[in-house]
């Protein structure tokens, strides 16, 4: 869906009154949470977007080419009932959840034209950052080309090994081995 000629003319005639607000739609396992920048909720006719009260921050999307693989970084601050602590701390709730970032143009509080797609990705990591000055969740969302340079299931983590072979626990202690300093010397020699 794109802007009609009439919508473009209307936006051009009212360019000094245009307000742009980003929307964020996150498909958690237990349900979809929809938020919009600002202090007022918005209904698009079918769905209600919750006011994010300025707690959302998204880093600029880096682009290096058509097959860009840079992850997007999002910050969600104050946790509300809709965006609960359970969503953010339970990995089964957020792992590979789809997150959409879009831009909606408003004139006098009314949306004009379709939402403009900015980024779509899958959540690969959520970390809670607590300092003396801030308390927020940092979300990393990977794009569709995140593994373009890796072989299928090529990360050799316990999770990947279990995906390859259901009951195999061969990589369960790999991370501990890396930091233990243990060496296996001579075990392959005859």
The whole-number pLDDT of residue 157 equals 72
CA distance 110 to 107: 5
E strand spans, the chain: 18-28, 31-36, 42-43, 48-51, 56-58, 72-76, 98-107, 110-111, 116-130, 135-142
Eight-class DSSP state of 67: T
The whole-number pLDDT of residue 177 equals 64
pLDDT tens digits, residue range 144-184?
766 555 555 556 677 777 766 777 777 777 666 666 666 65
pLDDT at 38 over 60: yes
Closest listed residue to residue 20, CA positions, set 121, 119, 102: 102
* pLDDT grade for 132, boundaries at 50, 70 and 90: confident
pLDDT at 29 over 80: yes
Q: Is the dihedral of CA 121, 125, 129, 135 positive or negative?
A: positive
Give the domain ranges of the chain: 5-148, 150-184
Q: How many CB atoms lie within 10 A of CB 184?
A: 7
3-state helix/strand/coil string of 143-189: CCCCCCCCCCCCCCCHHHHHHHCCCCCCCCCHHHHHHHCCCCCCCCC
CA distance 29 to 97: 7
Lowest mean pLDDT among 32-36, 52-56, 81-85, 182-186: 182-186
β-strand pairing of 48-51 with 31-36 = parallel
Mean pLDDT along residues 21-50: 89
pLDDT at 40 over 70: yes
* pLDDT grade for 74, boundaries at 50, 70 and 90: confident
CA distance 70 to 13: 37
Lowest mean pLDDT among 10-14, 102-106, 161-165: 161-165
Instruction: Please give the helix or strand (H or E) that residue 94 lies within, else none.
Output: helix 91-94
């Amino acid at each position: 869906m794109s802007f009609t000629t009439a919508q473009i003319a209307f936006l051009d005639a009212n360019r000094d009154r245009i307000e742009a607000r980003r929307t964020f739609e996150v498909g958690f396992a237990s349900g979809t949470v929809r938020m919009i920048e600002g202090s007022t909720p918005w209904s698009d006719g079918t769905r209600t977007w919750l006011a994010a009260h300025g707690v959302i921050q998204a880093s600029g999307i880096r682009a290096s080419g058509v097959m860009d693989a840079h992850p997007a970084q999002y910050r969600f601050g104050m946790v509300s009932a809709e965006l609960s602590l359970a969503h953010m701390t339970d990995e089964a709730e957020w792992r590979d959840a789809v997150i959409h970032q879009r831009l909606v143009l408003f004139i006098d509080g009314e949306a004009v034209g379709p939402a403009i797609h900015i980024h779509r990705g899958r959540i690969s990591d959520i970390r809670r950052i607590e300092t003396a000055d801030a308390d927020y969740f940092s979300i990393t969302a990977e794009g569709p080309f995140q593994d373009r340079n890796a072989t299928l299931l090529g990360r050799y983590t316990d999770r990947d090994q279990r995906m390859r072979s259901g009951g195999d626990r061969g990589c369960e202690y790999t991370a501990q081995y890396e930091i233990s300093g243990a060496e296996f010397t001579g075990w392959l020699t005859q």
